[in-house]
Copies of this chain bind each other. A is one copy, B any other.
């Protein structure tokens, strides 16, 4: 698909929705993003940013930087598969900062349309670049993020077509961030930089600052950022979608299905006397299609960040506690004797054929009881929280509550604020 700055800009300007279901879905994106940002505010990188810019930064670009970094700090934020970007972590903070900077708080429809414009730009650009972009080593959240945020903010401020075009073009001048940052504080900061870059691009364009006239095409953005070159035209009439997968559990993307598989097995165990204890259950086996567990390389986690990438740890937590939450990645949980004991009875088997991509592949859990019976959980094909298996209202509510340390009042206030922003009934 060929990228064309005018087509992208036209789509951004045209982004709009009145469909109630879609606005509800957008509200879920805002709630999910703001909840994980709230939980992320205690991470060390945020405390350091707060020391530099204040806990409530005064300037819009620092607000966007701070809140987008917070939203991505726990890696608990949503993902758009088409662009491999943590798209809402970039767009939502940029939009809120842009809303604060507007003369009056935006109309609900402007807020919803703006979010949609951002998602659409990320998907269009991500699809055009293809998987080659991420495979090369770019951090798509931070390279495509400025474009998504610029599109969203331009739409929120209702910039005309030519200024929207300059906003997108000025965003291409600020695309940076690589996967080498993974494991350092720079990873969430790259989401923060993307949000502030997008906001800046829109503010500059509104002031009449011109960007490159032809940012795309052979030798341009796609070439430099390792994208594929496919000259099929962009589908001008592609629908506007809310196509984000929300994480159900605060651990590695590839661990999400394991948790779901463990929870399904746990249901089977409900009737067994003694539950998951050794006197009732001899061992638990996770069966996973080969290629579905690649990032889960940690076998002896030393801290919470490592535990997020340890397969038997997350399975044990799900089996014992009926879910996996933020507390499982705090220091105290790593010391729990019951988790350690159960982990010793869990094994992970990988089966061929190898899954085609991170999205493909099936996992399931089974256990052998002390009496010799074998119980088997359901096959989990889709990531819990993905667009094929979206979070239920109850799951989202539980996540919001977990992110707010169990403070239901804070969760209700957040939900109320978001519903008001988007013009939804309380």
Chain A: residues with CB nearer than 8 A to chain B? 45, 48-49, 51-52, 59, 136-138, 142, 169-170, 172-178, 180-186, 189-190, 193, 203-204, 207-215, 219-221, 223-224, 226
A181 to B201, CA, bound (A): 14
Contact assessment for A209 and B185 in the assembled complex, using a CB-CB cutoff below 8 Å: yes
Contact assessment for A190 and B173 in the assembled complex, using a CB-CB cutoff below 8 Å: yes
Q: Which residue of B lies closest to A215 (CB)?
A: B180
Contact among B48, B137, B183, B207 with A219 in the assembled complex (CB-CB below 8 Å): B137
Query: If A219-B137, A224-B137 touch, does A48 touch B207 (CB 8 Å cutoff)?
Result: yes
A221 to B178, CA, bound (A): 8
Contact assessment for B183 and A173 in the assembled complex, using a CB-CB cutoff below 8 Å: no
B residues near A136, Cβ cutoff 8 Å: 223-224
Contact assessment for B178 and A220 in the assembled complex, using a CB-CB cutoff below 8 Å: yes
B residues near A174, Cβ cutoff 8 Å: 176-177, 193
Q: Which residue of B lies closest to A175 (CB)?
A: B176
Query: If A52-B203, A136-B224, A138-B224 touch, does A209 touch B189 (CB 8 Å cutoff)?
Result: yes
A160 to B226, CA, bound (A): 35
Contact assessment for B223 and A137 in the assembled complex, using a CB-CB cutoff below 8 Å: yes
A181 to B169, CA, bound (A): 9
Query: If A169-B186, A170-B186 touch, does A180 touch B210 (CB 8 Å cutoff)?
Result: no
Contact assessment for A172 and B178 in the assembled complex, using a CB-CB cutoff below 8 Å: yes
Most buried by B among A180, A184, A221: A180
A51 to B209, CA, bound (A): 11
B residues near A193, Cβ cutoff 8 Å: 173-174
Contact assessment for B178 and A212 in the assembled complex, using a CB-CB cutoff below 8 Å: yes
The 4 closest A-B pairs by CB, nearest first: A180-B212, A176-B176, A181-B212, A184-B210
A173 to B139, CA, bound (A): 10
Query: If A52-B207, A184-B210, A224-B226 touch, does A173 touch B176 (CB 8 Å cutoff)?
Result: yes
Chain B nearest CB, measured from A4 CB (Å): 14
Contact assessment for A183 and B213 in the assembled complex, using a CB-CB cutoff below 8 Å: yes
A204 to B214, CA, bound (A): 34
Contact assessment for B173 and A207 in the assembled complex, using a CB-CB cutoff below 8 Å: no
Contact assessment for A210 and B224 in the assembled complex, using a CB-CB cutoff below 8 Å: no
Chain B nearest CB, measured from A25 CB (Å): 32
Q: Which residue of B lies closest to A142 (CB)?
A: B173
Chain B nearest CB, measured from A52 CB (Å): 6
Q: Known A-B contacts: A48-B207, A180-B220, A185-B210. Give 10 more (CB < 8 A).
A: A48-B209, A51-B207, A59-B59, A137-B224, A170-B186, A180-B212, A180-B214, A182-B212, A186-B211, A186-B212
Contact among B173, B175, B189, B220 with A189 in the assembled complex (CB-CB below 8 Å): B173
A385 to B138, CA, bound (A): 39
Query: If A173-B177, A174-B193, A178-B172 touch, does A212 touch B224 (CB 8 Å cutoff)?
Result: no
A51 to B203, CA, bound (A): 11
Contact assessment for A220 and B181 in the assembled complex, using a CB-CB cutoff below 8 Å: no
A204 to B45, CA, bound (A): 10
Contact assessment for A221 and B180 in the assembled complex, using a CB-CB cutoff below 8 Å: yes
Q: Which residue of B lies closest to A51 (CB)?
A: B207
Contact among B173, B181, B213 with A211 in the assembled complex (CB-CB below 8 Å): B181
Contact assessment for B177 and A181 in the assembled complex, using a CB-CB cutoff below 8 Å: no
B residues near A221, Cβ cutoff 8 Å: 178, 180
A175 to B174, CA, bound (A): 8
B residues near A203, Cβ cutoff 8 Å: 52
A193 to B175, CA, bound (A): 12
